[in-house]
Amino acid sequence: MPAQQINHPLPSGFQLDRYRIERQLSLGGFSIVYLAFDDDGTPVAIKEYLPNSLALRSEGQIIPAISEEHQAAFRHGMKCFFEEGRALAHLSHPNVVRVLNFFRANETVYMVMQYERGRTLQEHVQKHRGEIREIFVRNVFTRLLNGLREVHTQKLLHLDIKPSNIYLRTDGNPVLLDFGAARQALGASGHSLKPMYTPGFASPEQYKSPFKMGPWTDIYSVGASIYACLSGASPQAADKRVEKDQLVPATKRFADKYSGQLLEIIDWCMVLDFQERPMSVFQLQKALAERHQLVRRQPSWFDNLGQGLRSLIGK
């Protein structure tokens, strides 16, 4: 097996269309994301389609080399990249990353997105390990689910929801990022462009039976992300759980710190059998909202939560 090719990013200061590249923000299997400035000096995030198993950019090169045998696969992947762009273009939601432009250059394609300031949920959880409050979790995920519902309405699955793909803007509003894995999933794809998944957050069907994927697939990842917020670490990977389930249910592990209702929802989202999970984001949101009604009937709880809310706003 050949060693994985490692692609070099475009150099800092490179003029790409009407944007000037500042630096690389992240590198994935399918793409490189850059921080860049447009001609008005507005910062943007630019995602470059560059699947590292098919296209190679060596140091000092601008146009990636794509061998003849990989041409078809490269274009196939490009089609997926278009699908991501197309779906995001139709989405204008405060909790979903916004696409600003799409263009072709250097024999590949680029997607320009709004650049968000803040930090990822993962960074936040790591910084506040062990002191994540229920009201915070509910606030972030209730709003995030609004965005995810819009995504699903566009017949798109995100397929890589995890705390590091959830961005917390400086105003505390979450934004769902990186639709690189998103797909109008059509069964298993060819070997050169294997679907990517993140162990711990990917559902069992993403490993074994991609044709069973649906909204419940993202819902598993939402459950796993909430679990990770409470535990401060990735839950056991779904493929391992299928072999031997060692995940301590949230209702057991966090019983003393969070409401039973929230914990039950986490466990419900993370059931291995996809048919047993909430079938839609709406159903999940409804379950989450039921708690709020309960809260209103118990003034002592409400006071506590109210304080939590105020301290969050105060930040």
Contacting residues toward other proteins, per CB under 8 A: 72-73, 75-76, 78-79, 82, 85-86, 89-92, 98-104, 109, 155, 186-192, 208-209, 211-212, 214
CB of 186 to other proteins, least distance (A): 6
Q: Which is nearer to other proteins, 272 or 312 (CB)?
A: 272
Q: Which is nearer to other proteins, 108 or 164 (CB)?
A: 108
User: Shortest CA distance to 247 belongs to which of 201, 279, 301?
Assistant: 201
Token pair 């059509």 is at which residue?
A: 186
* Rounded Cα gap, residues 276 and 292, in angstroms: 24
CB of 92 to other proteins, least distance (A): 5
Structure tokens that stand for 142 in this block:
């209730």
CB of 271 to other proteins, least distance (A): 18
Question: Do strands 15-16 and 19-27 pair parallel, antiparallel, or not at all (unpaired)?
Answer: antiparallel
Q: How many Cα atoms within 13 Å fall on the side-chain side of residue 185?
A: 25
CB of 301 to other proteins, least distance (A): 39
Q: Which is nearer to other proteins, 60 or 187 (CB)?
A: 187
Structure tokens that stand for 236 in this block:
């056991």
Check if the beta carbon of residue 64 is closer than 8 Å to that of residue 108.
yes
* Rounded Cα gap, residues 297 and 301, in angstroms: 9
**Number of helical H runs and strand E runs in the chain:** 10, 11
CB of 283 to other proteins, least distance (A): 15
CB of 242 to other proteins, least distance (A): 11
> Phi, psi (5° rounding) for residue 34?
-115, 150
* Rounded Cα gap, residues 132 and 125, in angstroms: 7
Q: Which is nearer to other proteins, 38 or 264 (CB)?
A: 38
Structure tokens that stand for 301 in this block:
């709880």
Q: Which is nearer to other proteins, 101 or 261 (CB)?
A: 101
Q: Which is nearer to other proteins, 61 or 71 (CB)?
A: 71
